[in-house]
Chain A
């Protein structure tokens, strides 16, 4: 069973701080990694994708991937109250004919004004 694990939180950070969200995965051959944001009662929204080891930056968001440690993280700089949501890590398993994604349970982020 291919697993994606996340701390459920809530992770509480003050406005303007850096929020750090973490995710581990069990399928060592996984090649594609995604972060989605899900507001309560809404659908997941793609924030970042990362495919290679290292960092990838997009605005206030930085995704970090370490395949050797089977670890992917998301940093949110200058956190805003509007960033309060559940962040879902998703992994595409290796040798996947149907392009399915396996989702973690999500980390709930609360940004306090």
Chain B
């Protein structure tokens, strides 16, 4: 069964550093998303991406965050100047169309120390 692949599975970084989280969506999917889940809390929307541009972003997705699709397969989330409160599980997801549910990747656990 096709799957969304995320790397790394766990990233530890020092406060103030930049991190890049990587995702390979399912190949025939057109819509890509990043969500995060702070331990014990809800899954929160960050950003959606379609046709090589951001289609929607949440209040969380401020200037500290950026997304990029550098080639035909990868989808990345960059977090600049990381803060302690950025520690969370970050999930990439993709969907074939805009109406259905998503397939989530296995997540990257980001720990900021």
Contacts and interface: CB of A to CB of B under 8 A. Distances in A.
Nearest to B92: A43
Most chain A Cβ neighbours within 10 Å, of B33, B57, B101, B105: B101
Contacts of B103: 46
Nearest to B97: A99
A46 B102 contact: yes
B45 A102 contact: yes
Contact of B98 (A42, A99, A104): A99
Given A43-B104, A105-B41, A32 B99 contact: yes
Q: How large is the interface on A (under 10, 10 to 19, 20 to 34, 35 or more residues)?
A: 20 to 34
B95 interface: yes
Contacts of B43: 44, 88, 90, 103
B74 interface: no
Contacts of A49: 100-101
A14 to B, nearest CB: 27
